[in-house]
């Protein structure tokens, strides 16, 4: 997935899927279809990805693998702008993992819920993602959860905590395959500093690096009560 040539990535994933199909094991084949769908979705081939995901969903019976499939289904719908369908799929994924939440599924759920303006649920899932990722030592997921928290704080107009979250996220991104996102975090930190110096200035901020909405986000105006 770190290769720049997405056609090569797709070719590799298709080769794996064909080898898995030859094993005549629905669980193995279904999981490989889900992985192929991830690659296709990253290459902006959403309809192709969804077709493979529907096949994977039929084949898979074991809950952990099925949850992963619903997560990718949610991602495809999210990237296509179908928020209700994305919410339905990610909620199904969360239900399938039950009392042992997966950090990546929780993170995806947090992102989708923020996009649907369901901030209470979004915060809950983002905090779970950070907690579980920290428990298993998933550095990239920790970084992404901290970054999403920064965006969550911005949505509250809480610039101080947003700055701290972005700073922590940038440090965690270093040494991962997405080290480039550190600059994304630093850019938002610079914008926060500018906003704190000039509270009346209208300043936009980048959303989560995982989001498909690249428009700037403008936090709400926090009214200060006069004594």
* pTM for this entry: 0.86
The pLDDT of residue 225 is above 60: no
pLDDT at residue number 61: 77
Sequence spans of domains, the chain: 1-94, 134-217
The pLDDT of residue 224 is above 70: no
User: What CATH number is given for 1-94 in this structure?
Assistant: 1.25.40.10
Contacts of 48 (CB under 8 A, 6+ apart): 40
- For residue 6 the two structure tokens come to 């997405």
pLDDT at residue number 63: 57
Return the closest-CA partner of residue 166 out of 178, 177, 183, 180. Answer: 183
pLDDT digits (tens, 9 = 90+) for 75-105: 999 999 999 999 999 999 999 998 889 999 9
The pLDDT of residue 195 is above 80: yes
The pLDDT of residue 28 is above 80: yes
pLDDT at residue number 152: 97
């Amino acid at each position: 997935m770190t290769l720049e040539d997405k056609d090569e990535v797709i070719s590799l994933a298709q080769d794996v899927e064909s080898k898995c199909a030859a094993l005549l094991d629905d669980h193995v084949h279904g999981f490989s279809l889900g992985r192929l769908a991830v690659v296709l979705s990253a290459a902006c081939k959403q309809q192709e990805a969804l077709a493979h995901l529907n096949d994977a969903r039929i084949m898979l019976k074991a809950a952990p693998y099925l949850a992963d499939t619903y997560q990718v289904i949610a991602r495809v719908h999210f990237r296509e702008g179908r928020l209700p369908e994305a919410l339905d799929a990610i909620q199904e994924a969360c239900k399938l993992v039950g009392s042992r939440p997966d950090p990546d599924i929780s993170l995806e759920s947090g992102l989708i819920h923020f996009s649907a303006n369901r901030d209470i649920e979004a915060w809950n899932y983002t905090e779970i993602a950070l907690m579980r990722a920290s428990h298993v030592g998933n550095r990239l997921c920790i970084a992404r959860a901290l970054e999403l928290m920064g965006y969550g704080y911005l949505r509250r107009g809480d610039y101080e905590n947003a700055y701290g979250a972005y700073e922590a996220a940038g440090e965690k991104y270093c040494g991962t395959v997405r080290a480039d996102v550190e600059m994304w975090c630093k850019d938002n930190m610079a914008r926060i500093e500018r906003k704190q110096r000039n509270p009346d200035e209208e300043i936009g901020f980048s959303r989560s690096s995982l989001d498909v909405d690249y428009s700037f986000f403008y936090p709400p105006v926090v009214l200060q009560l006069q004594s």
